[in-house]
Amino acid sequence: MRRYRWLAAIPTLGMLGGVPFANRVHPYVLGLPFLLAWIVVWVVITSLVMALIYLLDSKRDAELASTAATSPDDSRSS
Amino acid sequence: MTPALAVIIGVFVLAIALGLMARRGHVMSLEQWSVGGRGFGSVFVFLLMAGEIYTTFTFLGGSGWAYGKGAPAFYILCYGAIAYSVSYFLLPIVWRYAQTRRLVSQADFFVAKYESKTLGVVVALVSVAALVPYLVLQLKGLGIIVSEASGGVITQAVAVWTSSIALVGYVVVSGVRGSAWTSALKDVMILAAAVGIGVYLPLHYFGGYRAMFEAVEAAKPGALTLPASGMSPAWFISTVLLTATGFYMWPQFFAGVYTARSENVFRKNAVILPLYQLVVLFVFFTGFAAMLVVPGLKGAAADLSLLRIVEQSFGSWTVGAIGAAGLLTALVPGSMILITAGTIISQNIYRVMAPAASDRTVSLVARSLVPVLTLVAVILTLRGGQTLVVLLLMGYNFVTQLFPALILSLGERQRVSAASAIAGIVAGELTVVFLTVTSASVATLLPGAPQMVKDLNVGFVALAVNAVVLTVVALATRVETPVVTELERTR
């Protein structure tokens, strides 16, 4: 099971779901009007979340590879 | 000769030389020409994928939208991030399937999945109909950039003709390897150019970023937020979702996936590309600075805002460097479009009409099509027309119609018939044409609807028609399914 892959939906939901509420100029964040800052922060979160999934997937693949080495049939499914 | 002109010509010659040299050591079979022999590692695939993001649209259109429309431009920053997170899951599936079947085009994928050459022809026609306007868009941008940056010494027509001839040369010779190599040069230049001017201009004219945005808000109240109607949050969200849906449906993007050596490449790219995309932010900064520094550009002329503020703020050398970077943002996607269109027509249309043709002939046809397609695009470019963004949106809606049929084919077993995929795609495309010709919006189609519904991107109407027709035909042609399953089983 790779349930953690659902994490990938968070940035999309956060970024777009928040647009109606983040649609304002104030407060400024790092010199950016709020709406733009909101989007930029979520783009950065997208990268972070995908990095996390990548790490978890790599770990899982390594585990599966070591199980496959002990048992003869290749059970490499997601 | 001005320094600007010298820089542009120098970079142009360097790009063409790189493009031509990329062939060295490779025999150009169709598989080598179209998908680089499936041997590209992370860096090359990254360059190809990133090469697609920074087209002339991002450069001129991104700043042009910030300049002319303000906050609605931010959608450009959103859809890529979403498409990349989806790519982590989508692209390895596509790559694995294409790898085992040695597919060379996006239409091939549909042919293999649905076991239908007719569907392949339909997809091929859709692809070409979307790719030609996209190429025109790149050439239009190229003409504008070079003629502006050269101070009018090089006319748009001369720029378009010269670049097109050189483009044909290196595309025919090196195929997608040429795109990858020129892409490397392009990424270095665009990063330096876009970030450089985006960082410098707000500091130079306003003393800071916040100060610039405050000045923008004072001069044009509401420019930094989405309006309550029209390009409202509903428009924004629907446009981002629709554009993210269509992102990987572009045939040159899809075929770019085939170039990878391993599927892990896409997973790494899905982590890096969202961050890399933030370069667009600096393009926005330039557009907002231009809003106050070089006001008064209306309509299509808004796309010139970046070049105008650069001319006004920098010396000839810098103008040349920006012009050269802009030139490359047209050449690289242009080359990929030509390779893809040539491959699709030869592989999925010509081969169907002439089944006896050898691989060698098909490969030759693919490359012979490059000058023909370029000529068509050049003529369309020079005859003028709409602004950059409108052209792109039409092509975007064309390829987006492939999405339902693609998603339904990703499972292990094929559940819907080729007939339903064809019916859905054709119905969707006809709707796109109808909506574009009548310049319809949801507001004109449903005048009684609440404002939020009225603001939804009209592209969704075509996608909905597509999905409904596909479903109805799939249910009506369900009898075929057991036969297909039987065939699958006997393999």
What integer pLDDT is reported at residue B489 of this predicted model?
A: 46
- The pLDDT tens digits for B246-274 are 888 999 888 888 888 888 888 888 898 89
Q: Is A19 on the interface with B (CB under 8 A)?
A: yes
Closest chain A C-alpha to B249 CA, distance in angstroms? 19
Tell me which chain A residues have a C-beta less than 8 angstroms from the C-beta of B86: 8
Residue B412 has pLDDT above 50, yes or no: yes
Highest mean pLDDT among A42-56, B159-173, B386-400: A42-56
Q: Chain B residue with minimal CA distance to A19? A: B233
* HSE-up of residue B26 (Cα within 13 Å, Cβ side): 23
Q: Out of A25, A30, A46, whose CB is closest to B224?
A: A25
> Of the ranges B50-54, B84-88, B102-106, which one carries the lowest mean pLDDT score?
B50-54
What is the pLDDT, as a whole number, of residue A52?
Answer: 94
- pLDDT at site B210: 92
Question: Among B39-43, B196-200, B338-342, which stretch is predicted with the lowest mean pLDDT?
Answer: B39-43
Task: Give pLDDT tens digits for B440-451.
Answer: 788 888 888 888
A31·B210 Cβ contact <8 A: yes
Q: B374 pLDDT exceeds 80?
A: yes
| Closest among B365, B362, B385 to B373, alpha carbons compared | B365
pLDDT band at residue B391 under the 50/70/90 scheme = low
Cβ atoms within 10 Å of B10's Cβ, excluding its own: 12
| The pLDDT of residue B390 | 57
Distance from CA of A5 to the nearest CA of B (A): 9
Contacts of A46 in chain B (CB under 8 A): 81-82, 84-85, 274
**Record: contact B217-A15, CB cut-off 8 A:** no
**Is any Cβ of chain B less than 8 angstroms from the Cβ of A4?**
no
Cβ contacts of B270 on chain A, cutoff 8 Å: 50, 54
Closest partner residue to A54 among B71, B240, B267, by Cβ? B267
CA distance B285 to chain A (A): 10
Q: Does residue B277 belong to the interface with chain A, where contact is any CB pair within 8 Å?
A: yes
CB atoms within 10 A of CB A75: 8
Q: What is the mean pLDDT of residues A4-24?
A: 88
Confidence of residue B405 (pLDDT cuts 50, 70, 90): very high
Whole-number pLDDT of residue B316:
83
Interface-testing mutation among B88, B279, B280, B285, with chain A (most A C-beta atoms within 10 A)? B88
A43, A50, A57 ranked by CB distance to B77: nearest: A43
Burial call B243-265: b when 16+ CB within 10 Å, e when fewer: bbbbbbbbbbbbbbbbbbbeebb
Q: How far is CA A26 from the centre of its chain?
A: 27
Q: What is the pTM of this model?
A: 0.86
Answer whether B20 touches A (CB < 8 Å): no
Interface contact A7, partner B, CB < 8 A: no
Query: Can you tell me the mean pLDDT for B63-77?
Result: 89
For chain B, the average pLDDT equals 85
Tell me the shortest Cα–Cα distance from B164 to chain A, in angstroms.
36
Distance, C-alpha B154 to centroid of its chain = 27
Q: B414-470, pLDDT tens digit by residue? A: 788 888 999 999 999 999 888 877 777 888 888 888 888 888 888 888 999 999 999
Question: pLDDT class for B119, splitting at 50, 70, 90?
Answer: very high
What pLDDT score was predicted for residue A39? 94
For residue B97, pLDDT over 50 is answered with yes
- Give the residue-averaged pLDDT of B11-18: 86
- Quote the pLDDT of residue B33: 80
